[in-house]
Amino acid sequence: MWILLATIIVLACTAYLAIFYFWKLGKIRKLVKCPGPPSIPFIGSAHYFMGSTEDILNEFRKWMNMYPSPFHAWLGTRLFYVVYEPQQLKTILASSKAIEKEDLYKFARPWMGTGLFTAPASKWRLHRKLIMPTFNPRILEGFVEIFAKQANVLVKELRVELDAGEFDIFQYVSLCTLDIICETAMGVPSSVQVQRKSLYVDAAKRLFEIMFSRMLKIWMHPDIVFNLTRDGRNWREGIRFVHDLTDQGNDTTALVNTYVLFMLALFPDVQEKVYQEQFEIYGDSDPGDVPVRHEDLNRMDYLERVIKETLRIFPIAPIVVRKITDDLNIGEHTLVKGSSVVLAFLKTHWSEEYWPDPMRFDPDRFLPEECLKRHPYTFLPFSGGQRNCIGRKYAMMAMKVLLATIVRKYVLIKDQVILLEDIRLKIDLMLKPVEPINLRIEKRHA
Do the Cβ atoms of 34 and 80 come closer than 8 Å?
no
State the alpha helices, DSSP H only, in 267-327.
268-282, 301-313
Alpha-carbon span 440 to 418, nearest angstrom: 15
Alpha-carbon span 176 to 400, nearest angstrom: 14
Count of Cβ atoms closer than 10 Å to residue 358 Cβ: 17
The conformation of residue 336, written as its DSSP 8-state character, comes to: P
Phi then psi for 322, rounded to 5 degrees?
-125, 155
State the alpha helices, DSSP H only, in 158-229.
170-186, 192-195, 199-216, 223-226
CA-CA-CA-CA torsion sign (208, 151, 244, 103): negative
- Going from the C-alpha of 366 to that of each of 271, 303, 311, 326, the distances in angstroms are 17, 11, 11, 36
Question: Helices 251-266 and 301-313 sit at what angle, rounded to 10 degrees?
Answer: 100
| Angle (CA) 280 286 292, round 5° | 65
- Going from the C-alpha of 4 to that of each of 7, 10, 12, 64, the distances in angstroms are 5, 10, 12, 51
Rg (CA), the chain: 24
Alpha-carbon span 398 to 110, nearest angstrom: 28
| Angle (CA) 249 209 48, round 5° | 140
> Across the chain, which distance is largest between two alpha carbons, in Å?
92
| Angle (CA) 213 217 221, round 5° | 100
Alpha-carbon span 206 to 28, nearest angstrom: 37
389 known ligand binder:
yes
Question: Helices 199-216 and 251-266 sit at what angle, rounded to 10 degrees?
Answer: 100
Closest C-alpha to 349, from 369, 379, 373, 322: 379
Asked if residue 356 has a cis previous peptide bond (ω within 30° of 0), the answer is no
Residue list for the binding site: 389
Residue list for the binding site for heme: 389
